[in-house]
Chain A
Amino acid sequence: MGLYWSVLTVLALLAITAPAAILFGFGGATAARSRFAPLRWVGKGYISIVRGVPDIAFFLFFVIALDQLFEWARHSVFCPDWDQPIRQGNDFVVCAAAKLPLSSSPQWVHETYGFFLAILTFALVFGAFTANVLFGAMRAVPRAQIETAEAYGMSERQAFWRIMVPQMWVYALPGLSNLWMVLIKATPLLFLLGVEDIVYWARELGGTKTPQFTDYPHGDWRMWYFFALLVFYLLFTKFSEVVLDRVMKSLTKGQATTGGEAQRKAPA
């Protein structure tokens, strides 16, 4: 059973992370474009710091860091009269009421919390990459389009939401689809974050070293489980490629790009 759940876990992670990362990215990109300097620094800092540092180090770092951040925040709210320091040598100590999840809560809450942290980490990291793509895409929207909007008397906000945002997706899509492929390939890292995903199960199921069952009818099957995973990812990648191609085609329709022109001329 656990195996099927784990496949769902991976798919759920993709389904939740992708929109969340786009939200983060959109926020980051608009912040980086902002005219208000501190906001711009925050946006640019977010993009460049997350992009500059090696990948999985970030995944390992964020999970612990976010967990401690949440616990520390709850700690300062719930137990204001706690007088001991939080860092006691090598230990991170918060009062019992601030523990996340509460030690009394059932198992599924612990698992969901782990999954939630994983999603947040993925969204933060991929958000930075998305922000970079969207930032570029917003600049790629022809200046004339914005000028026309201004000429029609649209305010800056209207021009942004009605002209820029609908048009930027065409320019962003190649980058975004690239990111999507990377995101698919990043999902096995869930295993590192302690979520019981498919890598975990492939190791568990195929292994013969479980002491109780030394007389397995078969040898070491982990190789085949990982082979299955490999094929699963390859198929998933191929499928995404086909779908994204379609999306690109429908998005270019009527756009002022060479792709759009080609589509317009094709039937004639």
Chain B
Amino acid sequence: MSCWETIADYSLRSQGIGERLLPRSDFTLCQQFTLIGSGMIWNIYFGVVALFGGFFLATLVALGKAARSPWLRKPSEWFIFIFRGSPLFIQFFFAYFLFLSLKGALPIFAPFTAAWLGALVVLFLNTAAYSGEIFYGALQSIPKGDVEAADAYGISGVSRFRRIVWPTMLRLAWPAYTNEAIFLFHATTLVFFSGFPASRQMGDALYYASYFADKTFNPFIPYPILAGYFILLTLVVIGLFGAINKRLNRHLPQKQRRKIRLRPNLIR
């Protein structure tokens, strides 16, 4: 079987399209590249959707934490503490079984026990908490002069937030937020290793990589392939976020622009 046929058969395998059976013996490099790459679709899906949704919730949570009223502040603080203080792995497990027992009571929750929605909810809340903390830190370090200048111009309330505070917050938070994004993509590999089952062997990149490692007893091929894919993904994320960073900082003199320093981190 040529490599093109393999790609045709397996490149969408993680979505259930193409050949039904996974290769069982005589694994070729091409098969490993194709299947692991096909699993990356899930990683990208989880990462992009959770990151996009989490961004808005994170802004709200950061504002809540910075609020003066304890009715807003306390829930935000607890939300951040709970999601940052416990392992994501346990959160996945807990959420899975929570949804499982909710499903018994209310059939509406049936889709939540599947990875595409259930795990997404967990990742969304998790990244909202982590980015919320980053945004909160940025809110605290907005230069006093900026806000005073806004007041002097008579800009206040929502328009002050939208035109002065929020852009500055993003600008300050962006390098840390880039790391959070990279980190989140790495965290998506946990999904199918926690409670969420991979139905009909439609799993993510790590799922297939460990499938190959199990079958061949040779971790030296699938895991480096996985690592290669992730490094590529990380480079893309850095490129995109770097472009946004440039735009956010475009009004600053060349020297003051803050470069994004890549600091990948592990397990959350």
Contact = CB atoms under 8 A, between A and B. Distances in A.
Contacts of A125: 266
Contacts of A51: 264, 266
A55 B191 CA distance: 13
A8 interface: no
Contact of B97 (A226, A237, A238): A226
B217 A60 contact: no
Contact of B267 (A61, A65, A182, A237): A182
A234 B264 contact: no
B25 A90 contact: yes
Interface stretch (B50-58, B86-94, B248-256): B86-94
A186 B266 contact: yes
Q: Please report whether the interface of chain B is mostly helix, strand, loop or mixed according to DSSP.
A: helix
B72 to A, nearest CB: 22
Interface in B196-250: 206, 209-210, 213, 215-220, 223, 226-227, 230-231
Find the residue from B25, B81, B213, B219 having the highest chain A CB count within 10 A: B219
Contacts of A54: 186, 189, 226-227, 230, 266
Given A202-B93, A237-B85, A92 B266 contact: no
Q: Please report whether the interface of chain A is mostly helix, strand, loop or mixed according to DSSP.
A: helix
B189 A185 contact: no
B24 to A, nearest CB: 10
Contacts of B217: 64, 90-92
Contacts of B267: 55-56, 182, 185-186, 189
A204 to B, nearest CB: 13
Contacts of A237: 85-86
A25 B8 CA distance: 46
Contacts of A52: 231, 264
A227 B206 CA distance: 26
A92 B223 contact: no
Contacts of B265: 129, 182
Find the residue from B89, B101, B210 having the highest chain A CB count within 10 A: B89
A188 B87 contact: yes
B90 A226 contact: yes
Find the residue from B88, B189, B266 having the highest chain A CB count within 10 A: B266
Interface stretch (A34-42, A101-109, A215-223, A253-261): A215-223
A60 B209 CA distance: 10
B149 interface: no
A115 B166 CA distance: 48
Given A52-B231, A64-B213, A129-B265, 11 more contacts: A51-B264, A53-B230, A54-B266, A60-B210, A87-B218, A91-B217, A185-B87, A223-B98, A223-B100, A223-B101, A230-B91
Interface of B: 25, 27, 81-82, 85-91, 93-94, 97-98, 100-101, 104, 186-187, 189-190, 193, 206, 209-210, 213, 215-220, 223, 226-227, 230-231, 264-268
24 contacts: A51-B266, A52-B231, A53-B231, A54-B226, A57-B206, A57-B226, A57-B227, A60-B209, A65-B219, A129-B265, A191-B89, A199-B90, A199-B93, A206-B97, A220-B97, A223-B94, A223-B98, A226-B90, A226-B94, A229-B90, A229-B93, A230-B86, A234-B82, A238-B85
